[in-house]
Every structure is written in C-alpha cells, then in structure tokens.
Chains A and B, each alone.
Chain A
C-alpha cells in the first residue's frame, strides 16, 4: 500500500531564476511521456546525498498540458536539512534522478466561475501550473502575488506578459500589502479562493475567510510543513521489530525508510495524513510539526506524523 511508485528521470536543464531560486527540468529517462497531472500537483524528488536519501515534495510549475517536461523551482534554504542545498549545489544537467508520481492536494474546483489566488514568495509555483491550465480552458482568475522585492519576485515578468492585468504584484520593500479583507468581501457568488505561501499568510487567509463568513469548502490552501533538522533521537518500531536512530539532518520517515521499513506517505509535508502513526509509548515530548493532527490528537500523545515531526526524550515506541 505504502510508498508510491517512482519514475526514473533525467535533469534536462537547470536554470538560475534569481539569487535564491533555481528551476529544474525533468524528462523521463526512457523517453516516454511523463504522467499527466492537474495544476496544483506536487512530486516527491529523491535525493541521494551520500549516505542520506532525502525525499522532498515540490509543486509542479510547468504546464499540465506538457508531459515531456516537468519543472520545479527550488528556493535555497541555508537553515534547512540540506535538501535545497543539495538541489542547488549537486544537481546538474544530465544527472539521473528519481521522482514520485504527481499527487494533487491543491486542485482547482473546475465548477468555479472565478478563482481568486493569493501567492507569497516561492508559493507561486503551484499557481503557475494552475494558471496555464486555466488559460487553456478559458477560466476566470485573478492572482495576487506578494514578494520581498523586485529581484526575488520570481516569474513576475513572465506572468505580466501572459496574464496582464489579472496579475497584481505587491512588494514588501515598498510597503505594499494585499488588501485581503477588501478582496474577500467583494467576490461574486461561487468564487473559490486559493492560498499558498509562508505560514503567516496562509493562517491569515484562513482566519479572515472564517471571520468574514466564507464557506470552508470554497477556501483551498497548500500548506506543506518542512521536515526541520533537530537533535538526534531513537525510535522503536514495534510491528517491524526494529530500533532506528534518527540523525540530525534526517526526518523520522527517512530514517525508517533507510532501515528498510516500508512506511506510508503521500505529501511528506505534514498535510495529507497518509503517514499518521500510532504512538504506543513514550517518555518525552512529541515535537509536532504537521498541519494534520488536531489539538486533541496532539495533546493525547497517541499520534505522530513521522514525515515532519520529531521527538525529544529517551524512549519512543511506534506502531509501525
């Protein structure tokens, strides 16, 4: 049931988008078309970094109509576990890599007469694919894109050319802010809203849509948590009868996989619920980093999401 199938690909281009972002293009190694996907889908990219095998989700930004060329954009994160640094420093044109099948946890509601999109920073990537899809199907949309400054505003020029006045850009360094309340109070019946960006932006949109009275089912968000580095710890896997060390720069899920345990996952970003695991016993603190478990489940200490969460203590026993 668990780990989804993978595809062998070759890196066909690596493009410097700006000082923090690189774009990677993939084609299938065997020359066949890649699987079709819909705007908002992500893929898991496998990175064999020495001993470590990392698997990280990235949104597909290329056109869903093009199955010869998958594109992702990776923002360098110097504080992270090293996945983005690996992509930036090690991955070169011509290299062979492995990716997962596309999964969509952020799809467009195709019945919507209007799509209102809020993007922050690198959160623009799923919208790039969705917009290509909407242009092809004559969909009605409006994109509000907030970036730190002109230099870091990835793909603004390209967007300005293709979507013209449906693009609204906001620069932090010029004190420009998206007028969320005004926008959220003036949308015609049937509109769906989508947000992808930094955590505070997503939380703000969720809070304001709720306070203003938007029906939840008309609000969509892509909120991937990052597996953060942390203190090493040990986890006992009861069903597999294994004890696994989780290193500083590895996620619990990656450590389980390295030990040969076939654990379920889909998003690897604490958003889909697929990796939810029962905690049988522990004597420390569960460090929840996901967006899946609710407050009661967290307090109960009975569940954990190994794709992003960690542990601090001497004994953790999981039902896996």
Chain B
C-alpha cells in the first residue's frame, strides 16, 4: 500500500515566529507552550507595548505552565483571560476580534489545534488568514476531518487514525481545510477492511 506524497501539498499551513509589529492594539491568543512565545516576544518590545494589548491564554496543563503563566501575568496587560480549553477560549477570541478596530495585530501561538481554531475564528470575523502572525509551539496533534462522514476527530496523534464518528480507519493527510480548521482523513483500507495497518504515534 503506497501512501500519497503530501510533501508538495500547499494547503498544509506554515507557521513563523511572532514578532512585534507597530499597531494601535495587539491581540494575543496562545495555549500551553505557546505562552512562552509571547514571553519571548515581550523581551524586545517598545515600552508600554502591552498597555494596549490583550492576552487570551489557554492553560490546559496548569502544573506544567506555572512559570509561563506567571511571566504572562507580569506583562500587566489591561485585559487578560485564562481558560482551561481552546474551545472555552474561542468565544472570547471571537468577541475580542469583533470589538477590535482594523489598526490592530493578531498573534497566535501554540499547538496545531490552537493555531488552526484561532485562525478559523479570525476568518469567521472576516480577517484574512494572511493578516495573522502564527508560531507553532507544543503539540502537533491534529484535528482531522473524515472526508466520508465529515465528522471531526480532535487530538489525533496516530497514523492511521480511527474516525470517532463513523469508525473508518483514516490516512491523515497534509491536505488542510482552513474553513474547518482540520486536516483531511481518507479511508486507508477501503478495498480490504480486514487489512488493518498498525497505528504509529506521529503527530506529537
């Protein structure tokens, strides 16, 4: 069984390194290790940079993130939100973007899921995805959309992976949908469902 070569797939998102850009307002959104990207950016910004900024921080592993959280709190942002999960933070992100004027910059850092879901949220508020700064930190676990039943399975770390909705065994591709914030999963053993390839941990 040969796997499709995904190396040339352009839809696989590419991430950069956050850097401060002159703007009237700065909106940060990060999860777990992603908070560290904000802390590092903060080392080289003009005075008062964080006076007109907001931080939305998803702290899903408080035991591991205590240092990062403390460093973020020291930035003294006038608005700072912390929450337990990405999904809990997205409505806040959505509200903050809709209140924002266009002379603002948005910075997203953290896991593959954080980057994907925050980008999707910004796009729903009509912000072009190219207007966002992104930096990957932490988990590579993917959101995967089954192309057969359209169900989305979160936190996929294996290749292949099982669809939580229809149970099919999926090959997780680099083919990415920004609208769904998900990688596409295609049934891997359609011809012979009794052939069950071993799952390997690859997206960690």
State whether these chains interact: yes
B97 to chain A, nearest CB (A): 5
CA distance A214 to B21 in the complex (A): 10
**Residues of the B chain whose Cβ atoms lie less than 8 Å from the Cβ of A188:** 98, 101-102
B22 to chain A, nearest CB (A): 6
Q: Is the CB of A211 within 8 A of B22?
A: yes
B25 within 8 A of A: yes
**Residues of the B chain whose Cβ atoms lie less than 8 Å from the Cβ of A199:** none
Chain A: CB-nearest residue to B122: A189
Q: Is the CB of B101 within 8 A of A215?
A: no
Q: Which of B100, B103, B128 has the most CB of A within 10 A?
A: B103
Chain B: CB-nearest residue to A191: B102
Q: Which of A112, A189, A213 contacts B105 (CB 8 A)?
A: A213
B107 to chain A, nearest CB (A): 12
With A185-B101, A185-B103, A189-B101 in contact, do A218 and B24 touch (Cβ < 8 Å)?
no
B64 within 8 A of A: no
A170 to chain B, nearest CB (A): 21
Q: Is the CB of A113 within 8 A of B126?
A: yes
**Residues of the A chain whose Cβ atoms lie less than 8 Å from the Cβ of B102:** 184, 187-191, 193, 214-215, 218
Q: Which of B22, B98, B126 contacts A210 (CB 8 A)?
A: B22
Q: Which of B22, B24, B97, B131 contacts A215 (CB 8 A)?
A: B131
**Residues of the A chain whose Cβ atoms lie less than 8 Å from the Cβ of B21:** 213
B179 to chain A, nearest CB (A): 12
Q: In residues 127-168 of chain B, which contact A (Cβ within 8 Å)?
A: 127-128, 130-132
A47 to chain B, nearest CB (A): 39
What is the predominant secondary structure among interface residues of chain A facing chain B?
loop
A179 within 8 A of B: no
B45 within 8 A of A: no
B189 to chain A, nearest CB (A): 39
A239 within 8 A of B: no
CA distance A109 to B102 in the complex (A): 15
Interface residues on B, range: 20 to 34
Q: Is the CB of A189 within 8 A of B22?
A: no
Q: Is the CB of A213 within 8 A of B126?
A: no
Interface string of B75-115 (1 = CB under 8 A from A): 00000000000000000000001111111110000000000
Q: Which of A185, A189, A209, A212 has the most CB of B within 10 A?
A: A189
**Residues of the B chain whose Cβ atoms lie less than 8 Å from the Cβ of A190:** 102, 125-127
Q: Is the CB of B125 within 8 A of A215?
A: no
With A187-B101, A189-B97 in contact, do A215 and B127 touch (Cβ < 8 Å)?
yes
Q: Is the CB of B23 within 8 A of A213?
A: yes
With A212-B24, A213-B23, A213-B105 in contact, do A189 and B100 touch (Cβ < 8 Å)?
yes
Q: Which of B22, B97, B130 contacts A217 (CB 8 A)?
A: B130
With A212-B24, A213-B23, A215-B130 in contact, do A189 and B125 touch (Cβ < 8 Å)?
yes
Q: Is the CB of A213 within 8 A of B127?
A: no
**Residues of the A chain whose Cβ atoms lie less than 8 Å from the Cβ of B101:** 185-189
**Residues of the A chain whose Cβ atoms lie less than 8 Å from the Cβ of B22:** 210-213
Q: Which of A113, A211, A212, A218 contacts B131 (CB 8 A)?
A: A218
B105 to chain A, nearest CB (A): 5
Q: Is the CB of B23 within 8 A of A189?
A: no
**Residues of the A chain whose Cβ atoms lie less than 8 Å from the Cβ of B126:** 111-113, 189-190
Q: Which residues of B are in contact with A by a Cβ distance under 8 Å?
A: 21-25, 97-105, 125-128, 130-132
9 A–B pairs (Cβ distance < 8 Å), ordered by A: A184-B103, A187-B102, A189-B101, A212-B103, A213-B23, A213-B105, A215-B102, A217-B130, A217-B131
Q: Which 4 A-B pairs have the closest CB atoms?
A: A213-B23, A190-B126, A215-B131, A212-B103
